[in-house]
């Protein structure tokens, strides 16, 4: 029994260590990510001369980046109340849009005229009247609309340097977040609002810890004022394979604490983004290890954490005064680091453009289309619809199964599914190779299309095979958890030992209580018949 308990305990510890935070992607409620998992980076394009911005944007695009997190200084755009100077950001956002780079705009930097005079103007801080931020956020999203579909309200408010030198809490920050959310949505209803990135080291220099700050924000009722939770994901000095989890430990696995917090707050469907992600070069980590860790960390996120969306590289180039040179992909002199070379390798870029565990939106590069399709915007996501027979949507994914949000109704046509070039059997009444989506009532429901595949890359094609409509509202890639067999062996060994331990105890108790008679030796072995007194003669 002791052996069984030890093995069962080891199985539980191993399962927690290996699989804490790991999800297959098919858990409900589904985490509906608004983007795919392509390469993203932080960069401040205001540092570059105006005539170089187009070239930088083109460089990002050519090397596989699809998302850019750009700080937007309120004080630079609105130096005096109601007087806007958009020229600098017009140029930046226009060039990024021209290269099909999606902007994540970080609204920050209160103008002097809007600061709280009691907080002093030598430090950055919140506006005295949050209505001024509401107005600015509305003006920004009204101007740029779909060119800046993601807005992040403020940067590191848990750092006293960003809050007039005072220690701020999530409850104190909520009015600012609510003002930015309401203003941004008023200017462009389809914009997604992201919580501020919180400084993971703020507690060490007098600020509120990032986890406590976010927890306070939830407790104050802030979940209605953001669409995405942002975290700062610093690998510290630990490899991406370090699965120990502690609030005071800076490593990749610390992201799991944020997922568990959102689940506890009944907000499991909200995506989490690492808006600054990476490892800094230090005495413990050289440039080659930094490059290796960055790629392995991305791969772990893609395989295990469907709740984690974009992982935005910490810095593309060093930002003046930000102290991020140790994280940057490109050195200050313009030369590429080993991390830049690894991330932009064609194999990594291709993997980033492949659907990984979790939700894949219909405008993802992982989905290619044949025929004529049109967009529908419902439930904060994009649906694709076709009524052209033989139109198809092809998903390139890395996983063990796929689920699709399909529209059932009286006008839907039958579909054909092809996996890795082979037609799947559907079982429709008139043709067994087709899948019937007809229904008396129109509804969008998830349907398991394929499962139980070997982990790896697959191609699934959905084709409208008969007259009618085909509408798809997103696809979910499922990926079974890896490294399950050691836990199964430990668990089975523990169960077997416990079974025999209990069996021995039951027999012992039954025997000692007289309910079960122990058989004597005479009972166990029958008596042999007696032999006559006979001695054979000795052979010479």
Residue 451 belongs to domain spanning: 367-478
| Final residue of a structural domain among 432, 452, 478 | 478
Shared domain check, 298 and 157: yes
> What's the chain's average pLDDT?
91
pLDDT value for 500: 84
Residues of the chain above pLDDT 90, percent: 77
Shared domain check, 259 and 388: no
Count of CB atoms situated within 10 Å of the CB of 143: 17
DSSP H stretches of helix in 353-441 = none
pLDDT value for 225: 98
Token digits of residue 493: 């060994």
Shared domain check, 344 and 384: no
316 pLDDT higher than 90: yes
Domain harbouring 444, CATH code? 2.60.120.260
Residues 6+ apart with CB under 8 A from 346: none
Q: What DSSP character marks residue 401? A: E
Shared domain check, 305 and 382: no
Note whether residue 249 is domain-resident. yes
Beta bridge partners of 396: 459
Question: Helix/strand/coil (H, E, C) string of 381-419?
Answer: EEEEEECCCCCEEEEEEEECEEEEEEEEECCECCEEEEE
Residues 6+ apart with CB under 8 A from 338: 287, 288, 290, 291
Domain harbouring 276, CATH code? 3.20.20.80
Query: How many residues make up the chain in this entry?
Result: 540
Mean pLDDT of 425-454: 89
Residues of the chain above pLDDT 70, percent: 92
Q: How many domains does the chain have?
A: 2
Taking only the tens place, the pLDDT of each residue in 121-133 is 456 899 999 999 9
Task: Give the model's confidence band at 487: pLDDT under 50 very low, under 70 low, under 90 confident, else very high.
Answer: low
Mean pLDDT of 350-375: 96
| Final residue of a structural domain among 426, 461, 478 | 478
pLDDT value for 263: 97
Shared domain check, 116 and 229: yes
Token digits of residue 180: 């930015």
Token digits of residue 97: 């849009």
Note whether residue 515 is domain-resident. no
305: phi then psi, degrees, rounded to nearest 5: -125, 80
pLDDT value for 518: 63
**Nearest-angstrom CA–CA distance, 162 and 127:** 11
345 pLDDT higher than 70: yes
Token digits of residue 94: 């226009």
Note whether residue 492 is domain-resident. no
pLDDT value for 30: 94
Task: Give the model's confidence band at 520: pLDDT under 50 very low, under 70 low, under 90 confident, else very high.
Answer: low
Token digits of residue 293: 């860790």
Mean pLDDT of 212-228: 97
| Final residue of a structural domain among 429, 461, 478 | 478
Token digits of residue 475: 């696809």
536 pLDDT higher than 70: no
Q: What DSSP character marks residue 463? A: E
pLDDT value for 380: 77
pLDDT value for 178: 98
Beta bridge partners of 108: 73
CA contacts within 13 A on the Cβ side of 336: 12
Helix orientation angle between 130-144 and 170-187, rounded to the nearest 10 degrees:
40
What is the pTM assigned to this prediction? 0.89
Token digits of residue 312: 């935005």
Task: Give the model's confidence band at 9: pLDDT under 50 very low, under 70 low, under 90 confident, else very high.
Answer: confident
Note whether residue 514 is domain-resident. no
pLDDT value for 200: 96
Note whether residue 43 is domain-resident. yes
Task: Judge whether 490 and 14 are in contact, CB under 8 Å.
Answer: yes
**Nearest-angstrom CA–CA distance, 159 and 165:** 8
Mean pLDDT of 16-30: 88
Residue with the larger pLDDT of the pair 193 and 519: 193
Note whether residue 156 is domain-resident. yes
pLDDT value for 299: 97
Shared domain check, 248 and 144: yes
Note whether residue 405 is domain-resident. yes
Angle at 509 between CA 506 and CA 511, to 5 degrees: 105
- Is residue 145 exposed (0-12), middle (13-18) or buried (19+ Cβ within 10 Å)? middle
Identify the CA nearest to 66 among candidates 272, 349, 302.
349
Shared domain check, 409 and 334: no
**Nearest-angstrom CA–CA distance, 538 and 525:** 32
Shared domain check, 340 and 407: no
Task: Judge whether 348 and 302 are in contact, CB under 8 Å.
Answer: no
Note whether residue 121 is domain-resident. yes
**Nearest-angstrom CA–CA distance, 159 and 169:** 10
Shared domain check, 330 and 202: yes
Residues 6+ apart with CB under 8 A from 435: 414, 415, 416, 417, 426, 427, 428
**Nearest-angstrom CA–CA distance, 184 and 149:** 10
Taking only the tens place, the pLDDT of each residue in 238-295 is 999 999 999 999 999 999 999 999 999 999 999 999 999 999 999 999 999 999 999 9
pLDDT value for 492: 82
Shared domain check, 75 and 201: yes
Dihedral angle over CA of 70, 322, 61, 458, nearest 10: -90
Shared domain check, 280 and 230: yes
Range name among 223-227, 311-315, 318-322, 461-465 with the lowest pLDDT average: 318-322
522 pLDDT higher than 60: no
pLDDT value for 524: 53
Shared domain check, 348 and 406: no
pLDDT value for 449: 95
Give exposure, 484-505, as e/b (b: 16+ Cβ within 10 Å).
Answer: eeebeebbebbeebbeeeeeee
**Nearest-angstrom CA–CA distance, 280 and 325:** 8
Helix orientation angle between 485-512 and 2-19, rounded to the nearest 10 degrees:
160
Task: Judge whether 304 and 23 are in contact, CB under 8 Å.
Answer: yes
């Amino acid at each position: 029994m002791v052996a069984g308990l030890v093995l069962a305990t080891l199985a539980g510890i191993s399962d927690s260590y290996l699989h804490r935070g790991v999800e297959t992607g098919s858990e409900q409620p589904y985490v509906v990510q608004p983007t795919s998992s392509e390469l993203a980076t932080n960069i401040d394009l205001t540092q570059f001369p105006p005539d170089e911005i187009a070239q930088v944007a083109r460089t990002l695009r050519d090397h596989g980046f699809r998302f850019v997190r750009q700080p937007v200084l309120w004080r630079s755009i609105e130096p005096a109340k109601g007087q806007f100077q958009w020229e600098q950001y017009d140029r930046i956002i226009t060039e990024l849009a021209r290269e099909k780079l999606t902007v994540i705009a970080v609204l920050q930097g209160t103008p002097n005229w809007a600061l709280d005079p009691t907080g002093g103007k030598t430090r950055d801080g919140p506006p005295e009247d949050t209505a001024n931020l509401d107005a600015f956020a509305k003006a920004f999203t009204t101007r740029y609309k779909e060119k800046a579909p993601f807005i992040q309200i403020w940067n590191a408010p848990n750092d006293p340097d960003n809050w007039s030198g005072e220690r701020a809490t999530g409850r104190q920050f909520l009015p600012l977040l609510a003002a930015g959310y309401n203003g941004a949505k008023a200017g462009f209803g389809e914009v997604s609002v992201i919580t501020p990135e919180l400084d993971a080291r703020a507690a060490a220099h007098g600020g509120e810890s990032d986890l406590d700050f976010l927890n306070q924000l939830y407790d104050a009722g802030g979940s209605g004022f953001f669409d995405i939770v942002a975290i700062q994901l610093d690998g510290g000095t630990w490899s991406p394979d370090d699965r120990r989890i502690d609030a005071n430990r800076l490593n990749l696995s610390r992201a799991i604490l944020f997922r568990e917090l959102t689940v506890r707050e009944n907000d499991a469907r909200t995506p989490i983004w690492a808006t600054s992600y990476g490892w800094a070069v230090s005495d413990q980590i050289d440039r080659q290890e930094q490059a290796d860790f960055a790629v392995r960390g991305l791969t772990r996120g893609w395989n295990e954490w469907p709740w984690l969306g974009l992982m935005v590289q910490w810095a593309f180039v060093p930002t003046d005064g930000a102290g991020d040179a140790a994280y940057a992909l490109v050195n200050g002199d313009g030369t590429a680091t080993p991390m830049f070379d690894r991330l932009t390798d064609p194999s990594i870029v291709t993997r980033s453009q492949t659907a990984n565990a979790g939700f894949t939106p219909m405008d993802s590069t992982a989905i290619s289309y044949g025929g004529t399709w049109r967009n529908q915007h419902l439930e904060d996501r994009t649906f694709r619809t076709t009524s052209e027979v033989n139109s198809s949507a092809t998903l390139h994914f890395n996983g063990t199964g796929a689920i699709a949000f399909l529209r059932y109704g009286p006008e839907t046509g039958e579909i054909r599914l092809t996996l890795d070039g082979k037609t799947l059997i559907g079982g429709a009444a008139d043709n067994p190779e087709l899948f019937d989506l007809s229904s008396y009532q129109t509804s969008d429901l998830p349907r398991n299309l394929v499962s139980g595949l070997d982990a790896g890359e697959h191609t699934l094609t959905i084709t409208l095979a008969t007259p009618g409509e085909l509408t798809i509202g997103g696809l979910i890639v499922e990926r079974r958890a890896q490294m399950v067999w050691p836990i199964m062996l430990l668990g089975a060994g523990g169960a077997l030992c416990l079974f025999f331990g209990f069996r021995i105890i039951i027999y012992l108790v039954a025997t000692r209580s007289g309910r079960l008679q122990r058989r004597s030796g005479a009972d166990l072995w029958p008596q042999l018949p007696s032999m006559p007194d006979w001695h054979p003669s000795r052979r010479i």
